[in-house]
Amino acid sequence: MAVLKVIEVLASSKTGWEDAAKNAVKTAGKSLKAIRSVYIQEQSAVVEDGEIREFRVNAKITFEVLED
């Protein structure tokens, strides 16, 4: 039986929410192995001068706890 753990991360992108989600998984993957899924809990954006400048996501990443 697999044991799974969920962490919450915040990530951003200048180009879109999908890219922000990819950044969350890519960055988390540098220190976590066996990532199983990502759940985007919230999306937000920074607006300056009437334009969206940054897209942000609050993501929950699920990964398997591996035994040594």
Is 37 within 8 Å of 7 (Cβ atoms)? no
pLDDT per residue over 2-55, tens digit each? Answer: 899 999 999 999 999 999 999 999 999 999 999 999 999 999 999 999 999 999
Domain of 17, CATH number, reads: 3.30.1660.10
The pTM for the full model equals 0.88
Q: Which domain holds residue 59?
A: 4-64
pLDDT per residue over 57-67, tens digit each? Answer: 999 999 999 88
C-alpha triplet 58, 46, 51: angle, nearest 5°: 140
Residues with Cβ within 8 Å of residue 19, at least 6 apart in sequence: 13, 55
Total domains in the chain come to 1
What is the distance between the alpha carbons of residues 11 and 42, in angstroms, rounded to a whole number? 11
Is 60 within 8 Å of 4 (Cβ atoms)? no
